[in-house]
Amino acid sequence: MNSALRRIFWGYLFIFFRIHIGIDVLMDPIGYMLIYSGCARIVDEFPQAKKAMIVAIVGSVLSIPSIVVNLSDPTLSYSWSMYGIALFLMKILVAFYLFIVLTDIVATIGKPSLIVKTRSTFKIFIGFHLFAFALQSFYMNTSGDGWVVLNVLSAIGVLIMDILFLLLLRKIRNAAPSSPQINYLL
């Protein structure tokens, strides 16, 4: 399980960071494939991982153009902006299904504090991301400094929640057994 959680961690890290030097150094398709690989390792024990695997495959195909297109470039056309929003939604969707799998994993581990932390992080994470997504639609059609400040604050909130998600993954990986416990006694 540790290997699977490590792959999911690195996969989400690849999706989270954008280092664009001609091409995206931490390519999103690789991140999605790492998430797929991690979920494939635990799908027998946690069947909810199948949904995360499907979303990861779709995300890896959908994110291929992001390798060469710098989505943070303000001179991009409207269609590329919509593509960036689609990738943001894909990231939320994969995180949603990963949180469902992580909830099952921490229930198996059986640490009450980790169960509460996973559930509360899940609610806050999804809340911040959906708020930032909804705010983008208003931000394009309004003017004023208040909206700019609100957009910057929501972006900071999303950044913090992504980092907290990575830290939660690490904490769950450290709490999870390294290999299945097999009792050889009859």
Residue labelled with tokens 């900071």: 156
pLDDT in tens, 72-90: 666 777 777 778 888 888 9
The helix/strand/coil state of 64 is helix
**C-alpha angle with apex 49: 47 to 51, nearest 5 degrees?**
100
The helix/strand/coil state of 21 is strand
pLDDT in tens, 88-113: 889 899 999 999 999 999 988 888 88
The mean pLDDT value for 21-41 works out to 85
Residue 182 has pLDDT above 60, yes or no: no
pLDDT in tens, 153-172: 888 988 999 999 999 999 99
- Residue 23 host element (H or E): strand 23-24
pLDDT, averaged across the chain? 84
Are 15 and 91 in contact, with CB atoms under 8 Å apart? yes
CA–CA gap between residue 123 and residue 100 (Å, rounded) = 11
pTM value is 0.83
> Residue 160 corresponds to which tokens in the numbers above?
């913090």
Residue 137 has pLDDT above 80, yes or no: no
Are 1 and 172 in contact, with CB atoms under 8 Å apart? no
CA–chain centroid gap for 109, Å, is 22
